[in-house]
Chains A and B, each alone.
Chain A
Amino acid sequence: MSSLILKRSFNRSLLLSQKSCTGRQLISSLFSSLSELQVKSPPSSGLRDFPSLDQNYKFLLSGFSSFLLKTIERPPRSQFRGSKRYLSSRSSERCRASASGIGILQRDNSGSASALLSRVILPYDSNKDQLHSKRFCMFSTETAVELSTSDGLTVDRIVASNWTILDESESDWKSHAAAISQSIQVVKRRLQWKKLMVRLDLLSAELNKPDLWGDPVHAGKISREHGSLMAKMKEVIAFERELLEHIDMIKLAREEDDTELESESLNTLLRMRRNSKQKELEALLGGEHDSCPCYIEVQAGAGGTESMDWAKMVMQMYKLWAQRKGYKVTVVDEMPGEIAGIKRATIKVDGEYAFGYAKAEVGVHRLVRISPFDSGKRRHTSFAAVAVIPILGDGSTHVQINESDLRIERFRAGGAGGQHVNTTESAVRIVHIPTGITATCQNERSQHMNKASAMAVLQSRLDQLEMARQAQMNAQHTQSLTEISWGNQIRTYVLHPYRMVKDLRTNYEVSDPDSVLEGAIDGFILSYLSASLDKEEVYH
Chain B
Amino acid sequence: MKLISSACSVVRIPSLYASLYRPICSASLSSSPSSLKPTTPLFLRPPRFSTSISDLHKWHHWAKNLASSVGASFVQLDNGPDSTSLRRELRWLLEDSLEDPSLIYQLGSQNYAMDVRLKAPLDELYVLWRQRIEERRPFQYIVGCEHWRDLVLSVQEGVLIPRPETELIVDLVKDVALASGESKEGLWADLGTGSGAIAIGIGRILGSKGKVIATDLSPVALAVATYNVLRYGLQDMIEVRKGSWFEPLKDVEGKLAGVVSNPPYIPSDDISGLQAEVGQHEPRLALDGGVSGMDDLLHLCNGVLSMLKPGGFFVFETNGEKQCKVLVDYMENNNPGKFFNVNIVSDFAGIQRFVTGFINNKSS
Chain A positions within 8 Å of B237 at CB level: none
Q: Which single member of A323, A417, A422, A444 contacts B349 (CB below 8 Å)?
A: A417
Q: Which 7 A-B residue pairs are closest in the complex by CB-CB distance?
A: A445-B147, A413-B349, A447-B164, A410-B349, A410-B348, A448-B149, A422-B277
Chain A positions within 8 Å of B351 at CB level: 416-418
Are B353 and A417 in contact (CB-based, < 8 A)? yes
Are A420 and B278 in contact (CB-based, < 8 A)? yes
The CA-CA distance from A416 to B270 in the complex, in Å, is 11
| Sample (11) of A-B pairs whose CB atoms are under 8 Å apart | A416-B320, A418-B320, A419-B265, A419-B319, A422-B161, A422-B278, A422-B282, A424-B139, A445-B147, A446-B148, A446-B149
A448 to chain B, nearest CB (A): 4
Q: Which residue of B lies closest to A451 (CB)?
A: B348
| B147-174 contact mask (Cβ, 8 Å, vs A): 1 or 0 | 1111100000000110111010000000
Are B317 and A418 in contact (CB-based, < 8 A)? yes
Binds A, one of B7-15, B85-93, B326-334: B85-93
Q: Which residue of A lies closest to B102 (CB)?
A: A328
Are B167 and A448 in contact (CB-based, < 8 A)? yes
Known: A422-B277, A424-B81, A425-B85. 13 other contacts (CB 8 A): A409-B349, A409-B350, A410-B164, A417-B347, A417-B353, A418-B165, A419-B265, A421-B79, A422-B138, A422-B140, A446-B148, A447-B164, A448-B148
The CA-CA distance from A104 to B320 in the complex, in Å, is 66
Chain A 421-480 residues near chain B, CB threshold 8 A: 421-426, 428, 443-449
Q: Which single member of B88, B161, B353 contacts A443 (CB below 8 Å)?
A: B88
A250 to chain B, nearest CB (A): 50
Are B264 and A424 in contact (CB-based, < 8 A)? no
Chain B positions within 8 Å of A409 at CB level: 348-350
Chain A positions within 8 Å of B274 at CB level: 420
Q: Which residue of B lies closest to A444 (CB)?
A: B147
The CA-CA distance from A416 to B321 in the complex, in Å, is 10
Residue A414 interfacial (CB < 8 Å): yes
B160 to chain A, nearest CB (A): 7
B349 to chain A, nearest CB (A): 4
A445 to chain B, nearest CB (A): 3
Are A418 and B79 in contact (CB-based, < 8 A)? no
The CA-CA distance from A428 to B138 in the complex, in Å, is 21
| B302-337 contact mask (Cβ, 8 Å, vs A): 1 or 0 | 000000000000000111100000000000000000
Chain B positions within 8 Å of A443 at CB level: 88
Chain A positions within 8 Å of B270 at CB level: 420
Chain A 335-366 residues near chain B, CB threshold 8 A: 336
The CA-CA distance from A336 to B87 in the complex, in Å, is 12
The CA-CA distance from A449 to B79 in the complex, in Å, is 24
The CA-CA distance from A443 to B150 in the complex, in Å, is 14
Are B150 and A448 in contact (CB-based, < 8 A)? yes
Chain A positions within 8 Å of B347 at CB level: 410, 417-418
Q: Which single member of B92, B139, B278 contacts A421 (CB below 8 Å)?
A: B278
Are A419 and B275 in contact (CB-based, < 8 A)? no
The CA-CA distance from A419 to B323 in the complex, in Å, is 14
Are B349 and A449 in contact (CB-based, < 8 A)? no
A229 to chain B, nearest CB (A): 38
A335 to chain B, nearest CB (A): 10
Chain A positions within 8 Å of B350 at CB level: 409-410
Residue B266 interfacial (CB < 8 Å): yes
Chain A positions within 8 Å of B89 at CB level: 424
A323 touching B105 in the complex, CB below 8 Å, given contacts A420-B266, A423-B81: yes
Residue A408 interfacial (CB < 8 Å): yes
Chain A positions within 8 Å of B151 at CB level: 446
Residue A415 interfacial (CB < 8 Å): yes
B281 to chain A, nearest CB (A): 8
Chain A 186-204 residues near chain B, CB threshold 8 A: none
Chain B contact residues, CB within 8 Å of chain A: 79, 81, 84-85, 88-89, 92, 105, 138-140, 146-151, 160-161, 163-165, 167, 262, 264-266, 270, 274-275, 277-278, 282, 286-287, 317-320, 347-351, 353
Q: Which single member of A323, A419, A426, A446 contacts B278 (CB below 8 Å)?
A: A419
Chain A positions within 8 Å of B160 at CB level: 419
B119 to chain A, nearest CB (A): 17
The CA-CA distance from A158 to B79 in the complex, in Å, is 76
Identify which of A410, A428, A447, A449 gathers the most chain B CB atoms within 10 Å of its CB. A447
Chain A positions within 8 Å of B85 at CB level: 423-425
Q: Which residue of B lies closest to A443 (CB)?
A: B88
B302 to chain A, nearest CB (A): 22
| Size range of the chain A interface in the assembly | 20 to 34
B96 to chain A, nearest CB (A): 10
Chain A positions within 8 Å of B92 at CB level: 424, 445
Identify which of A319, A323, A424 gathers the most chain B CB atoms within 10 Å of its CB. A424
A421 touching B275 in the complex, CB below 8 Å, given contacts A416-B319, A426-B164: yes
Chain B positions within 8 Å of A410 at CB level: 164, 347-350
The CA-CA distance from A417 to B85 in the complex, in Å, is 16
Chain B positions within 8 Å of A413 at CB level: 348-349
Chain A positions within 8 Å of B139 at CB level: 424
| A264-306 contact mask (Cβ, 8 Å, vs B): 1 or 0 | 0000000000000000000000000000000000000000000
Are A428 and B348 in contact (CB-based, < 8 A)? yes
The CA-CA distance from A416 to B348 in the complex, in Å, is 12
A447 touching B348 in the complex, CB below 8 Å, given contacts A423-B81, A423-B85, A424-B92: yes
The CA-CA distance from A425 to B264 in the complex, in Å, is 22
The CA-CA distance from A422 to B165 in the complex, in Å, is 11
Chain B positions within 8 Å of A422 at CB level: 138, 140, 161, 163, 275, 277-278, 282
Q: Which single member of A336, A414, A424, A448 contacts B79 (CB below 8 Å)?
A: A414
Are A419 and B348 in contact (CB-based, < 8 A)? no
A153 to chain B, nearest CB (A): 53
Q: Which residue of A lies closest to B95 (CB)?
A: A445
The CA-CA distance from A410 to B350 in the complex, in Å, is 8
The CA-CA distance from A428 to B140 in the complex, in Å, is 20
Are A418 and B81 in contact (CB-based, < 8 A)? no
The CA-CA distance from A418 to B139 in the complex, in Å, is 17
B111 to chain A, nearest CB (A): 14
Chain A positions within 8 Å of B165 at CB level: 417-418
Q: Which single member of B140, B147, B265 contacts A449 (CB below 8 Å)?
A: B147
B179 to chain A, nearest CB (A): 14
The CA-CA distance from A426 to B275 in the complex, in Å, is 17
The CA-CA distance from A418 to B174 in the complex, in Å, is 21
B195 to chain A, nearest CB (A): 13
Are B150 and A449 in contact (CB-based, < 8 A)? yes
Are A419 and B147 in contact (CB-based, < 8 A)? no
Chain A positions within 8 Å of B84 at CB level: 336
Chain A positions within 8 Å of B105 at CB level: 319, 323
The CA-CA distance from A410 to B140 in the complex, in Å, is 20
The CA-CA distance from A319 to B102 in the complex, in Å, is 13
Chain A positions within 8 Å of B319 at CB level: 416, 418-420
Q: Which residue of A lies closest to B265 (CB)?
A: A419
Are B163 and A421 in contact (CB-based, < 8 A)? yes
B32 to chain A, nearest CB (A): 29
The CA-CA distance from A418 to B262 in the complex, in Å, is 10
The CA-CA distance from A265 to B146 in the complex, in Å, is 64
B3 to chain A, nearest CB (A): 17
Q: Which single member of A323, A418, A425 contacts B353 (CB below 8 Å)?
A: A418
The CA-CA distance from A426 to B278 in the complex, in Å, is 17
Chain B positions within 8 Å of A415 at CB level: 79
B229 to chain A, nearest CB (A): 19
Are A420 and B353 in contact (CB-based, < 8 A)? no
B172 to chain A, nearest CB (A): 13
B283 to chain A, nearest CB (A): 11
Are A446 and B150 in contact (CB-based, < 8 A)? yes
A418 touching B163 in the complex, CB below 8 Å, given contacts A408-B348, A413-B348, A443-B88: yes
Identify which of A418, A425, A449 gathers the most chain B CB atoms within 10 Å of its CB. A418
The CA-CA distance from A415 to B160 in the complex, in Å, is 19
Identify which of A413, A423, A444 gathers the most chain B CB atoms within 10 Å of its CB. A423
